[in-house]
A and B are shown apart, each in its own frame.
Chain A
Amino acid sequence: MLIISNLVTEFASIKALNDISFQAKPGCITTVIGANGAGKSTLLRTISGLERPTSGSIKWFDEELTHKSVESIVRSGIAQVPEGHAVISQLSVAENIELGGLFRKRIARGDLAIATKEVYELFPILFERRREPAGSLSGGERQMLAISRALVSRPKLLLLDEPSLGLAPLISAQIISTVNELCKSTGLTVLLVEQNANTALAVADHGILLALGKVIANLPAKELIADSSLRAAYLGY
Chain B
Amino acid sequence: MDSFLTAFFSGTSQGAIYALVSLGLVLVWRGAGVVNFAQMGQAMFTTYIASQLIQNDYSYWSAFVIALVSGAILGAIVDLGLMRPLTSRKNSQLLNSQSMRTTIPVIASLGILGVLKAVAGILWAGEERGFPSPIAANALTIGDTTLAITGFDLFVIGVVFVTLVLTTIFFTRTGMGLAMRASALNPEVTRLSGIRVGSVRTLSWAISGTASSLAGLLVTPKTNLSPNTLDLLLIVGFTAAVVGGLNSLAGSVLGGFIVGYVIAFVNVYSAPENVFLAILVFLLLALFIRPQGILGSKEVRRV
Most A CB contacts (10 A, CB to CB) among B179, B193, B197 go to B193
Complex Cα distance, B188 from A87, in Å, reads: 10
CB atoms of A103 and B193 under 8 A apart: yes
CB atoms of B191 and A70 under 8 A apart: yes
CB atoms of A82 and B185 under 8 A apart: no
Whether, in the assembled complex, B175 has its beta carbon less than 8 Å from a beta carbon of chain A, the answer is yes
Whether, in the assembled complex, B178 has its beta carbon less than 8 Å from a beta carbon of chain A, the answer is yes
In the complex, how many angstroms separate the beta carbon of B195 from the nearest chain A beta carbon?
Answer: 6
Chain B residues near A102: list those with CB within 8 A: 175, 178-179, 193-195
The stretch among A91-99, A198-206, A219-227 that forms the contact with chain B is A91-99
Complex Cα distance, B178 from A102, in Å, reads: 9
Q: How many A-B residue pairs have CB under 8 A?
A: 67
CB atoms of B186 and A71 under 8 A apart: no
Chain A residues near B192: list those with CB within 8 A: 48, 50, 70, 74, 79-80, 82, 86, 150
CB atoms of B178 and A99 under 8 A apart: yes
CB atoms of A100 and B193 under 8 A apart: yes
Complex Cα distance, B174 from A105, in Å, reads: 11
In the complex, how many angstroms separate the beta carbon of B173 from the nearest chain A beta carbon?
Answer: 11
CB atoms of A88 and B196 under 8 A apart: no
Which residue on chain B has the smallest CB distance to residue A75?
A: B194
1/0 contact string of A27-66 vs chain B (CB within 8 Å): 0000000000000000000001010000000000000000
Whether, in the assembled complex, A153 has its beta carbon less than 8 Å from a beta carbon of chain B, the answer is yes
Whether, in the assembled complex, B267 has its beta carbon less than 8 Å from a beta carbon of chain A, the answer is no
Whether, in the assembled complex, A156 has its beta carbon less than 8 Å from a beta carbon of chain B, the answer is no
In the complex, how many angstroms separate the beta carbon of B152 from the nearest chain A beta carbon?
Answer: 38
Whether, in the assembled complex, B190 has its beta carbon less than 8 Å from a beta carbon of chain A, the answer is yes
Complex Cα distance, B185 from A48, in Å, reads: 20
Most A CB contacts (10 A, CB to CB) among B178, B194, B196 go to B194
Chain B residues near A103: list those with CB within 8 A: 193-195
Whether, in the assembled complex, B19 has its beta carbon less than 8 Å from a beta carbon of chain A, the answer is no
Complex Cα distance, B188 from A98, in Å, reads: 16
Complex Cα distance, B189 from A153, in Å, reads: 13
Whether, in the assembled complex, B219 has its beta carbon less than 8 Å from a beta carbon of chain A, the answer is no
Which residue on chain A has the smallest CB distance to residue B300?
A: A89
Complex Cα distance, B196 from A178, in Å, reads: 30
Complex Cα distance, B191 from A19, in Å, reads: 27
Complex Cα distance, B172 from A91, in Å, reads: 11
Whether, in the assembled complex, A228 has its beta carbon less than 8 Å from a beta carbon of chain B, the answer is no
Chain B residues near A153: list those with CB within 8 A: 193-194
CB atoms of B188 and A99 under 8 A apart: no
Complex Cα distance, B297 from A149, in Å, reads: 25
CB atoms of A71 and B189 under 8 A apart: no
Whether, in the assembled complex, B182 has its beta carbon less than 8 Å from a beta carbon of chain A, the answer is yes
Chain B residues near A75: list those with CB within 8 A: 194
Whether, in the assembled complex, B117 has its beta carbon less than 8 Å from a beta carbon of chain A, the answer is no
Complex Cα distance, B196 from A191, in Å, reads: 24
Complex Cα distance, B190 from A86, in Å, reads: 10
CB atoms of A88 and B182 under 8 A apart: yes
CB atoms of B194 and A74 under 8 A apart: yes
Whether, in the assembled complex, A136 has its beta carbon less than 8 Å from a beta carbon of chain B, the answer is no
B103-150: which have CB < 8 Å to A?
Answer: none
In the complex, how many angstroms separate the beta carbon of A106 from the nearest chain B beta carbon?
Answer: 9
1/0 contact string of B179-211 vs chain A (CB within 8 Å): 101100110111111111100000000000000
Most A CB contacts (10 A, CB to CB) among B181, B185, B189 go to B189
Which residue on chain B has the smallest CB distance to residue A149?
A: B193
In the complex, how many angstroms separate the beta carbon of B190 from the nearest chain A beta carbon?
Answer: 7
In the complex, how many angstroms separate the beta carbon of A51 from the nearest chain B beta carbon?
Answer: 12
Residues A91 and B185 in contact in the complex (CB < 8 Å), given A98-B178, A99-B179:
yes
Chain B residues near A105: list those with CB within 8 A: 175
Chain B residues near A149: list those with CB within 8 A: 189, 193
CB atoms of A86 and B194 under 8 A apart: no
Chain A residues near B185: list those with CB within 8 A: 88, 90-91
In the complex, how many angstroms separate the beta carbon of B245 from the nearest chain A beta carbon?
Answer: 13
CB atoms of A95 and B191 under 8 A apart: no
CB atoms of B189 and A88 under 8 A apart: yes
Chain A residues near B195: list those with CB within 8 A: 71, 99, 102-103
Complex Cα distance, B185 from A86, in Å, reads: 12
CB atoms of A74 and B193 under 8 A apart: yes
8 pairs of residues in contact across A and B, judged by CB atoms under 8 Å: A74-B192, A79-B192, A86-B186, A90-B297, A99-B179, A99-B190, A103-B194, A150-B192
Interface of A toward B, CB cutoff 8 Å: 48, 50, 70-71, 74-75, 79-80, 82, 86-88, 90-91, 95, 98-100, 102-105, 149-150, 153
List 7 additional contacts besides A99-B179, A102-B193, A149-B189; criterion CB under 8 Å. A48-B192, A74-B194, A95-B182, A99-B182, A99-B189, A102-B178, A103-B195
